[in-house]
Structure 1
């Protein structure tokens, strides 16, 4: 489902750069030369991150001292799309694109990649790897402005919080529970969430519940009352009113339209 390797050496454009999975990212640490596609040639330079469309055949021409070659499946990528609903995120791999990270940002990206490599070797479960990949893509593509100023330790805390939220969002609603899981006070947790997400815990919980409701409405035949129960709402009316407040239409209308 995912492969990450360090690549280096001399490359000629007469040979394509192969990958095990269809969605690919090339992160340059130190290199000179070109990335070549039908759409044109693109300069390889430190801190440049290339997002490569599925159908694109890429070739390298030049000398790579150090670079990361990441490929992954659509299944892992789906978590990123669920967390990033804006058009810029959805079009990230529609055509070849790249981002140039500043030196401090690039160092953080390299650190995240090295940690991802360790997580892959440890054979972490799919849901965890999907969360990690979503964080890495959001950071590398500069899609989440709040993330860019976080330290590596804080980025790891973001990942930890997302993992806890993903496991317990249906059953746990209190700040104290999530603060305990993060090993910090409730006040410190809310301050951290504001810094990392520009939202507090109730807002993040609500957004995750509504996202799950959308998935259940689209992909299952469960009744509205059953979905409300699955998501931990004590009363169906509470779920119905909250969903309409968030989406502007009722849950039944949303299901019909999708």
Structure 2
């Protein structure tokens, strides 16, 4: 579902880059020459990140001293879109686009990619990888503006927290559990989350559960009772109460709207 490889060397446009998955990115650390597509030739500049649509072969003409070639599945991209609902996210891979990063953001980007590569090599669970990728896309595309001010250590900690949350939000609600996973005290974790994400652990867990509830109600054949059980609610009435507080309507009203 994801392929990430360092890329370097001399390239000629006669030979296309191979990608296993449809969503493709070229991250240029140091390079000169051109990325050649049907829509035209685009200069390879240091710190430039290309978001490449599925259609068309990707060819390079020039030298890549160092960079990364990333491709990933539409399923992983869908997880990113669930977290980024604005049109800019949906259009990110519609046409070829690129973003130039300053040296500080470039350094963070390369470090995040190195970390992502290690997680992939260790064969982490895909739900875990999806959180890394989603945050990386939000950061490099400039969609998560708050991330730009964070230190590299903060970014890596956010990545780790989101990955742990994704694995355990259905069954774990305890601050102690997440604090141990992060190697922090409960108090320090809550302060960290409030500083970098502006929300407490309780709110972040509830947001994630409700987002999953909407997905299951819209795109699964589970009954409401089954969805409540999947999401860790002992009673369907508790699920309905939480959903109504979050969405402003009951589970039954939401289900009827989705059908219509």
Residues of 1 paired with 2:82 and 2:226: CA distance?
22
CA offset digits 1:83-125 (Å, max 9, x no partner): 2222221221111111111111111111111222222222222
Residues of 2 paired with 1:176 and 1:115: CA distance?
26
Q: Which residue of 1 aligns with 2:117?
A: 117
Residues of 2 paired with 1:187 and 1:226: CA distance?
34
Residues of 1 paired with 2:118 and 2:170: CA distance?
30
Please, which runs of 5 or more residues in structure 1 have no aligned partner? none
Contact 1:146–1:195 under 8 Å retained in 2: no
Q: TM-score, normalised by structure 2?
A: 0.90
What's the offset of the Cα at 1:32? 1.3
What's the offset of the Cα at 1:134? 1.6
Q: Which residue of 2 aligns with 1:6?
A: 6
Q: Which residue of 2 aligns with 1:86?
A: 86
Q: Which residue of 2 aligns with 1:197?
A: 197
CA offset digits 1:181-224 (Å, max 9, x no partner): 22222232122112322222122111101111112212333222
Contact 2:135–2:159 under 8 Å retained in 1: yes
The number of residue pairs the alignment matches comes to 258
Distance change in 2, residues 1:254/1:94 (3 Å): farther
Residues of 2 paired with 1:111 and 1:166: CA distance?
22
Contact 2:28–2:49 under 8 Å retained in 1: yes
Spell out the pairing of 1:1-258 with structure 2 (5 A cutoff): 1-256=1-256, 257=258
3-state DSSP class of the match of 1:233?
A: coil
What's the offset of the Cα at 1:143? 1.6
Please, which runs of 5 or more residues in structure 2 have no aligned partner? none
CA offset digits 1:13-32 (Å, max 9, x no partner): 33322212211110000011
What's the offset of the Cα at 1:57? 2.3
3-state DSSP class of the match of 1:208?
A: helix
Residues of 2 paired with 1:222 and 1:21: CA distance?
30
What's the offset of the Cα at 1:175? 2.5
What's the offset of the Cα at 1:162? 1.5
Distance change in 2, residues 1:230/1:125 (3 Å): closer
Residues of 1 paired with 2:123 and 2:172: CA distance?
28
Distance change in 2, residues 1:44/1:195 (3 Å): farther
Contact 2:51–2:92 under 8 Å retained in 1: yes
3-state DSSP class of the match of 1:46?
A: coil
Q: TM-score, normalised by structure 1?
A: 0.90
Runs of at least 4 residues off by over 6 Å:
none
